[in-house]
A and B are shown apart, each in its own frame.
Chain A
Amino acid sequence: MESPKPPKKKLDLNRREMPKQSPEVRRHNFDEVALGYSAETAIEEAVRCLQCPSANCVKSCPVEIDIPAFLEFVAQGNFTDGIRVLKETNCLPAVCGRVCPQEEQCEGSCSLVKKGGQIAIGRLERFLADWEAGQPEMKLPQVLAPTGRSVAIVGGGPAGLTVAGDLIKLGHRVTIFEALHKMGGVLVYGIPEFRLPKAIVKREVDYLVRLGVEIVTDYVVGKTRTVDSLLEEYDAVFVGSGAGLPWFMEIPGENLNGVYSANEYLTRMNLMAGFLFPRYTTPIKNHRRVAVLGGGNVAMDCARTALRLGAETRIIYRRSRTELPARLEEVENAEEEGVIFEFLTLPVRYLGDENGWVTAIECIKMRLGEPDASGRRKPIPIENSETLYPVDAVVCAIGNSPNPLIASTTPGLEVGKKGNIVVDESTGKTSKPRVWAGGDVATGAATVILAMGAGRKAARSIHEYLCSL
């Protein structure tokens, strides 16, 4: 007798939309753009998951979240277990659900992606994290008995927070040293409020504190105290100090007033709340015409910030729309809000007035040639194509190098050509005994989730080391 087959699930390719503030409204405020799923929509979306055995989504997640398991719980309406599964491997779900490039990772490898119906994993992750935040009591995971071993973490950004979250649960004593006055690294100084509300970062940090992580802000390791000195007190040190050294175009006029690095512009706005000047006392100018140089997520963040302050805002990018390194979602958001894109355009110099303020940016037009080392088509200048854009501010969002502060004050730490701390990729071990590193300081500027993935690997290796003592 044939065993009865389970009824075949009807294929549902209708990826549920997440409501957003309309462009006309949101371009005048700093509130979060995306509004999140309702419980009903979340369940509808999670039910669509085929629970396929290949589970490619897990393989392409840098922190290896058991995605089918948490989706199954959401489908059942069991959010408590859903968030528990998420938090087993990801201590920052509310952050990742918002800023991970899911289209390149979990969602990009979903079995339904070819049919255009990939599960909205990121939105569901975000839903669960936000659902939990709305509960009267947050469940804390079990923390193992104290091991008596200790770890110092340099930098309170995504990499450091991940290492802290993993190691505290294993019973180790964990202290995070943060140079700025707020925890979160790029999550607080870089990513704007409308994409990642700061209250969410605070919530995630508070969670770590409740688990027992000790936090020291306003403490610059390398200056206030060296890594070697930390090694006298702690069994291990993890360096996650980020890519805090901004690149400039290195073209004439770059030191005119009104020319900012993306780091400066975003720090003034986000960390220092410059958009609330003079209530918050860090000033930001009321610029009318802003040009943002670069095509990555940071460029989109800068442009959308400038736009919200009422400026006519252009993104100037030397390649075409296809090559933009920013997430498509962010590009579309920027376009909807009214950011003007000048593609195939390369700045060559800034012009200024007699008081040293920038007044215009001169650019040349480009065309695309053969693919270069990055696989993208190389932009080639077109002769006599000079164009002048009048501006009163320019934000340079063309990238960052690792901040050299730790490397330059830590003897025995091998540093690569680009100023990155050299690590073993699978463990995060550096050339210096008892010192691990990960995130942007090792890779150069990358994404939040890659930093977290590196943190995860390093935490595993640090744990092994601490257990061997």
Chain B
Amino acid sequence: MFRVIESRMIVPNIHLLAFEAPAVARQIQPGQFIIVRPHEDGERIPLSVADWDAGQGTVTVCLLNVGKTTGEIAALEEGSRIPTLVGPLGNATEIGEHGSVLCIGGCYGIGSLFPIARALKRKGNRVVVLLEARSSYLFYWEKRYAEVADKVLYITRDGTRGWKGHAGRLPEILQSLAEPVHRIIINGCTFLLKRGSEASLPFGIPTTVSLNPIMIDGTGMCGVCRVTVGSATRFACVHGPDFDGHQVNWQELLQRRKAYMNEEVVPLRTSRCEDHLMKK
């Protein structure tokens, strides 16, 4: 069992949870993920890791409450325990001496991007961060980013902070930077990954995206997370989660992610009132 050390909503609908998982905390690298199952009858879902403390033996995630299982995790109380937390899974993000790196994060990806930006900075890269949200009140960890990034830019759909719009404005943002960018790394929802990759393609800047398909075991056994990258089928859990954003078949990924859209929401609508009668 894995104890919940911290559990709180940091901005509307985005929750931060820290778990006691010393074996995972000792090994984890930026860009890797864990698989969590919140209770014995629960589903296994992958979550990108936003931070960890090897000394304290804790692992932190940021997640968006969107369906049945994320809702259950978001509702976990401090001090409670969950039956499954397994990791670190997937490959670490390549932390090379790239030169100047533009890190783009949105939603839960603002969390998972942070250790990547921090590691890139420690490696001596120039780190520019672009955070995307629907509105200014959905940003978090700005102070943490200010400590590791050379520059932090914001873009909001409603224009309440920084640029107005979304990652599709990347070409203008790149021009306004007036400095070379040698690599782009994007963490967040599939639309952000797709838009960012499409926008960077004409600039020929290598773009790494952290994919987030449906997974079950996370060790390459089931193949539900398969994605087409270039002409090959890859398993995001073991070959990824990072891939070349210019090679990913986005339409297929978006469709595969939607496979259980209905089922994710069905349990939210069933009251399970009968359980009160059935339970001893």
Contact = CB atoms under 8 A, between A and B. Distances in A.
A268 B224 CA distance: 11
Contacts of B224: 260-261, 264
A282 B44 contact: yes
Interface in A374-406: 403-405
A261 B89 contact: no
Given A282-B43, A283-B263, A223 B27 contact: yes
B124 interface: no
Interface string A246-267: 1010100011011011011001
Interface in B36-95: 37, 41-44, 68-69, 72, 83-89
Contacts of B220: 244-245, 403-405
Interface in A354-389: 355-356
A246 B237 CA distance: 14
B270 interface: yes
B226 interface: yes
Nearest to B38: A281
A267 B222 CA distance: 8
A272 interface: yes
A219 B88 CA distance: 10
Contacts of A261: 222-224
A279 interface: yes
Interface residues of A, number: 41
B148 to A, nearest CB: 26
Interface in B198-222: 216-222
A181 interface: yes
A268 B259 contact: no
A280 B68 CA distance: 11
A220 B219 contact: yes
A281 B69 contact: yes
Nearest to A244: B221
Interface in A175-193: 179-181, 189
Nearest to A273: B41
Contacts of A246: 221-223
Contacts of A404: 220, 238
A219 B86 contact: yes
Interface string B254-276: 01101110011011001000000
A182 B223 CA distance: 19
A255 B233 contact: yes
A225 B260 CA distance: 33
Nearest to A284: B263
A218 interface: yes
Residue of B88, B221, B233 most packed against chain A (CB within 10 A): B221
B43 A356 contact: no
A250 B228 CA distance: 12
A371 B88 CA distance: 47
A281 B270 CA distance: 12
A277 interface: yes
B29 to A, nearest CB: 11
Nearest to B23: A224
Given A181-B37, A282-B43, A224 B217 contact: no
Interface string B212-255: 00001111111110111000010000100000000000011001
A224 B217 CA distance: 14
A355 B89 contact: no
B24 interface: yes
B256 A356 contact: yes
Contacts of B72: 281
B38 to A, nearest CB: 9
Given A224-B86, A282-B43, A356-B256, A263 B222 contact: yes
A468 to B, nearest CB: 31
B89 A220 contact: yes
A268 B270 contact: no
A403 B69 contact: no
B233 A278 contact: no
Contacts of A283: 43, 260, 263-264, 266
B115 to A, nearest CB: 17
A405 B219 contact: yes
B85 A180 contact: no
Contacts of A267: 216-217, 221-222
B27 A224 contact: yes
Interface in A186-235: 189, 217-220, 223-225
Nearest to A280: B41
A257 B41 CA distance: 25
A224 B87 contact: yes
B83 A405 contact: no
Nearest to B225: A264
Given A219-B23, A281-B267, A224 B88 contact: yes
B216 A264 contact: yes
A40 to B, nearest CB: 38
A244 B216 contact: no
A223 B219 CA distance: 9
Contacts of A277: 263
27 contacts: A179-B86, A180-B217, A189-B217, A218-B84, A218-B86, A220-B87, A220-B218, A220-B219, A223-B89, A224-B23, A224-B24, A225-B27, A244-B217, A244-B219, A245-B221, A260-B224, A261-B223, A267-B222, A277-B263, A280-B43, A281-B69, A283-B43, A283-B260, A356-B251, A356-B255, A356-B258, A405-B219
Given A281-B41, A281-B68, 18 more contacts: A181-B84, A217-B84, A223-B27, A223-B89, A224-B88, A244-B220, A244-B221, A245-B220, A257-B259, A264-B216, A267-B217, A267-B221, A272-B216, A278-B68, A278-B263, A278-B266, A279-B41, A281-B69
Report, nearest first, the 3 A-B pairs whose CB atoms are least far apart: A356-B255, A283-B263, A244-B221
Interface of A: 179-181, 189, 217-220, 223-225, 244-246, 248, 250, 254-255, 257-258, 260-261, 263-264, 267-268, 272-273, 277-283, 285, 355-356, 403-405
